[in-house]
Chain A
Amino acid sequence: MTRFLFLFVAALTFAFPVHAELRIDVNRGVSEPIPIAVTRFVAKDSAGIPLADGIPSVITNNLEGTGLFRPIDPKAFIQDENSLQTEVRFPEWKSINAQGLVTGAITKAPDGRLRVEFRLFDVFGQQQMSGMAYMTTPQNWRRIAHIISDEIYKRLTGENGYFDSRVVYIAESGPGTARVKRLAIMDQDGANNRFLTDGANLVLTPRFSPNQHVLAYLAYVGGKPRVYIYDLQTGNQQVLGDFPGMTFAPRFSPDGSKLIFSLARNGNTDLYAMDLSSRRTQQLTNDPNIDTAPSYSPDGSQITFESDRGGTQQIYVMSASGGNPRRITFGQGRYASPVWSPRGDLIAFTRMYKGQFYIGVVRPDGTGERLIANGFHMEGPTWAPNGRVLAYFVEQGNSAKIYSVDITGFNRRVLKTAGDASDPAWSPINP
């Protein structure tokens, strides 16, 4: 699962100089999606045949899911994929209103790996915007499709993509009074779903380490709710330390060296940080109230968390060593589960007011609060790696679903999961 499997081999140039005219303004919010033609890839030998449709199909699904693109039905295409390998007849693509055009080819390399190349064209500007080639083993073809999707997204929006990433979540089943919860992990498009635990123990709130090798989560084992670490490479599970009370709400530091979490004992909940190599623990808050749901800023210098020290649940920001806590939310109702954007510019949260739940964002200094989704009952936002898209979960009756939404509130849609799902955590871009 490492990037070297997806060796970038070449930037494919084209005759014309590249100065893109086609560009999507992602900050426009609800807008007319850009029509884009994603063609069948050309299989230059038999090895590529199974993926000639598979790769463009994954790309199409990714682009369509952003709400920013409208893939054109291939039945409308006039020029076929084979002739595109030698020339692009731009007027034909223009006549079906395609603004962007994606072409590709798959070749088997002598070592058995696949060489996948793609090109992105600006139809109206009649020029190539991007061209890349990658090498990979055949079974990892979906990642190539995600990496190509990220490149297209970046070229056309100016923002980083988020398709080559994963989501860890809690898969739910069974009646409400005895819900069975399992750790599950999948690609962001729902493919390659895997259950990591069997449901015998109650598990909650899984979080990725930055390198995605391990997860931290809460598990009830032997009547003791504690933070556990799950090694994704070995399947090994370990309890984090030997604490005299419940440990929960874990999250990794941006460099992966520390874990922050809550420890509850004698009716009081404070925040702690553990250095994962020395296993030394530092207490970060010490007050008689509930301090929980901590999340580091992307530079690791600050922590946002929720506390009811002011009488109700509100969001605070403090230094990573625990100093200088300051409250940043002052609206009506209660605020919870803050999580810092990977870009650093916003903190997403859950807000509760008059029996309704909201997902919103606010700047770390407390200004610019915006609510982007609401209903009963929703909570637990997590950021896509580009800091533009949020996922959260919605519970209604005995059903639980994960939704994603653009931070403008636009393009709310259900994330594909294996059955009922809650507590999502989006990974960084895959290593």
Chain B
Amino acid sequence: MFLRTILMLSTVMVLAACSSDEEAAMNTSMPAGAVGGVAGDGFGQGGAAPIGGVVPGSQQDLVVNVGDRVFFALDQADLTSEARSTLDRQAAWLKQYTNVSITIEGHADERGTREYNLALGERRANSVKSYLMSQGVDGSRIQTISYGKERPAVTESNPSGWAQNRRGVTVVN
């Protein structure tokens, strides 16, 4: 019923998440970055002090001072206590910058099949969205997208790499 229209596809469109992926790759190469993601995302602990030149309410502000991502256990979309504390900070930050809208990217590691990982990434992104809404962020400010296993943060095929790739990343639109 909701699909009467068939939209024409323009031939070339830029992938919306390119810039966020580049940032994600940069983040994980930082010494205090996402490495060891299961134990905690690291950004919050290391990023309490504002850094000069960061625009308040920007993606960089989110990454440096709040933490832009949470991590999941294998085949799970439940939020860990570390994830919840990161999202508590994100919720507070979003209430401070009320004109900011975001997209939550859900990602999976490589150890699953293509279609299932797309569904799992969607489940993870919605898990993050639901939690932010429960903390008072208006759902109309939050979009979600799943990348399944298509956009890993790191390419290491080992437990540490997989842990960094099972993630939900908050991206300022």
Contacts and interface: CB of A to CB of B under 8 A. Distances in A.
Contact of B17 (A223, A237, A241): A223
A140 interface: no
Interface of chain A, helix or strand or loop or mixed? strand
B111 A337 contact: no
B3 A336 contact: no
Nearest to A281: B3
Interface in A230-249: 237-246, 248-249
B55 interface: no
Contacts of A159: none
Nearest to A349: B113
Contact of A242 (B7, B151, B152, B153): B7
Interface stretch (B40-48, B60-68, B79-87, B118-126): B118-126
Contacts of A243: 2-3
B35 interface: no
Contacts of A246: 118, 122, 145-146
A20 B65 CA distance: 79
Contact of A395 (B110, B115, B126): B110
B116 A220 contact: no
A86 B13 CA distance: 62
Nearest to B122: A264
By CB atoms of chain A within 10 A, which of B1, B120, B122, B123 has the most?
B122
Contacts of B153: 177
B58 interface: no
Interface string B82-122: 00000000000000000000010000001111111011101
Interface in B53-80: 75, 77
Nearest to B127: A267
A219 B10 CA distance: 12
Contacts of A264: 118-119, 122-123, 146
A377 B21 contact: no
Interface stretch (A49-57, A124-132, A195-203, A340-348): A195-203
Contact of B154 (A177, A225, A244, A352): A177
Interface in A130-147: none
B134 interface: no
Interface string B141-173: 001011000111111010000000000000000
A313 B116 contact: yes
Interface string A392-426: 00010110000000000000000000000001000
Contacts of A241: 2-6
A352 B111 contact: yes
A120 interface: no
B119 A281 contact: no
Contact of B123 (A201, A205, A242, A290): A290
A113 B14 CA distance: 46
Interface string B1-40: 1111111110111111110011001000000000000000
Contacts of B146: 225, 246, 264
A266 interface: yes
B99 to A, nearest CB: 19
Contacts of B9: 219, 221, 228, 237-239
14 contacts: A221-B13, A223-B143, A225-B145, A225-B146, A237-B11, A241-B2, A262-B118, A267-B77, A267-B123, A281-B1, A290-B116, A313-B113, A376-B157, A377-B111
In the A-B complex, the 7 residue pairs with the closest CB atoms = A241-B3, A223-B16, A267-B126, A176-B155, A336-B113, A269-B119, A264-B122
Interface of B: 1-9, 11-18, 21-22, 25, 75, 77, 103, 110-116, 118-120, 122-123, 125-127, 130, 143, 145-146, 150-155, 157
